[in-house]
């Protein structure tokens, strides 16, 4: 069973408000906190990442995502990425 998303998790964006056309799909984000519950999309999380685009087209380093739009990265993947950054 997959553990639910929580603050501090590293995730990949797998969906968005515009479905397959969402500009953040494939981007890696870090979950910062729960923003609340949406009547249609469920739990909404504030996340940080590089070059994120909001539903209004604004670009920045943070964005809100529904829990269903995020896929947690396994801890092993995060450790390998950290090691690769340290070696660079």
CA distances from residue 43 to 4, 61, 70, 86 in whole angstroms, order as listed: 11, 20, 11, 34
Domain range for 29 is 10-87
pLDDT at 43: 97
Residue 25 has pLDDT above 70, yes or no: yes
* Mean pLDDT calculated for residue range 51-67: 97
User: Is 75 part of any domain?
Assistant: yes
User: Is 54 part of any domain?
Assistant: yes
pLDDT at 83: 58
* Mean pLDDT calculated for residue range 5-13: 97
User: Is 2 part of any domain?
Assistant: no
User: Is 45 part of any domain?
Assistant: yes
User: Is 61 part of any domain?
Assistant: yes
Predicted confidence band of residue 78 (pLDDT cuts 50, 70, 90): low
Predicted confidence band of residue 1 (pLDDT cuts 50, 70, 90): very low
| pTM attached to this predicted model | 0.83
User: Is 1 part of any domain?
Assistant: no
Name the domain count of the chain: 1
């Amino acid at each position: 069973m997959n553990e639910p998303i929580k603050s501090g998790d590293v995730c990949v964006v797998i969906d968005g408000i515009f479905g397959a056309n969402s500009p953040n799909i494939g981007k890696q984000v870090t979950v910062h906190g729960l923003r609340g519950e949406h009547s249609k999309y469920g739990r909404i999380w504030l996340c940080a990442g590089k070059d994120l685009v909001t539903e209004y087209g604004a670009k920045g380093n943070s964005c809100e995502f529904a829990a269903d739009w995020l896929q947690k990265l396994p801890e092993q993947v995060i450790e390998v990425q950290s090691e690769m950054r340290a070696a660079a």
